[in-house]
Amino acid sequence: MSNNSHIIVALDYADEKSALALVNQLEPDSCRLKVGKEMFTRLGPQFVEKLTSKDFDVFLDLKFHDIPNTVAGACAAACDLGVWMVNVHASGGRRMMEAAREEIEKSSHKPSLIAVTILTSLDTDDIHEIGYQGSPAENVYNLASLTNQSGLDGVVCSPKEVEHLRSSLPNDFLLVTPGIRPAGSMADDQRRTMTPAEAIKAGSSYLVMGRPITQADDPMEVLVSTEAGIAEI
């Protein structure tokens, strides 16, 4: 099955029935699915297996952050689950990221391995309180560079950070961006959004989209029209 889609649909639901009601309206070669901490904690690996058995690529968004040995074990479990992408916190450090990379390399099924740099919910005061110096943007750049040096495939970042990161990191380094809103749609609680075409033009590799798709009357229509808008760039 070939999947050229740029869109990762965020499955942010509190129960399986609602999530599957959406999934059953989607085609596996038209998008990918993101399963985060809420759904995974409620429904467990069986839910992920249900999605992979329907041929969907799954981004397991659990943001592992622990000692290297523990994160490596969690990554091995993600490989066994057959997910397409998995992530860790870059602030876990080089040895932790390298241990994750090595573990994935041992597997016959190798998901993409990406890192979270600075959570976009943190502002300058927040990061200083934790002990970081400088601006969030400087720390995002430093942690993205460390992620690249540690052999990972990319980072999750705000679409506003893409242009700078794309200009200073390898062309094939994945930049996965949430905070995406099609032109004219509601911003919800996202503050600094970009349209899908703007984000791809700036250098995003994949777009994480939740509510513009999950709340749509016709989710497939939003996927198809969004990809068509991107193809016009």
Binding site for ligand C5P (CB under 6 A): 10, 12, 36, 120, 156, 178-179, 188, 190, 208-211
Shortest Cβ 28–ligand C5P spacing (Å): 19
Q: Which is nearer to ligand C5P, 173 or 206 (CB)?
A: 206
Q: How far is 152 from 163, CA to CA, in rounded Å?
A: 19
Q: Looking at beta carbons, which pairs linking 118-122 to residues 24 or more positions away fall under 8 Å?
A: 118/143, 120/158, 120/178, 120/179
Q: Which is nearer to ligand C5P, 39 or 79 (CB)?
A: 39
Cβ count within 10 A of residue 108: 5
Q: Which is nearer to ligand C5P, 121 or 171 (CB)?
A: 121
DSSP 145: H
The residue nearest ligand C5P at its CB is: 210
Shortest Cβ 37–ligand C5P spacing (Å): 9
Shortest Cβ 116–ligand C5P spacing (Å): 7
Q: How far is 197 from 210, CA to CA, in rounded Å?
A: 16
Residue whose C-alpha is closest to residue 131's, from 180, 191, 91, 86: 91
Strand-pair partners of 153: none
Give the CA distances from residue 2 to residues 28, 44, 153, in Å, rounded to whole numbers and listed in that order.
Answer: 9, 27, 20
Q: Which is nearer to ligand C5P, 58 or 72 (CB)?
A: 58
Shortest Cβ 33–ligand C5P spacing (Å): 11
For 90-128, the DSSP string reads GGG-HHHHHHHHHHHHHSSS--EEEEE-S-TT--HHHHH
Specify the DSSP element, H or E, that contains 73. Answer: helix 68-81
Shortest Cβ 119–ligand C5P spacing (Å): 6
Q: Which is nearer to ligand C5P, 54 or 211 (CB)?
A: 211
List the catalytic residues: 63
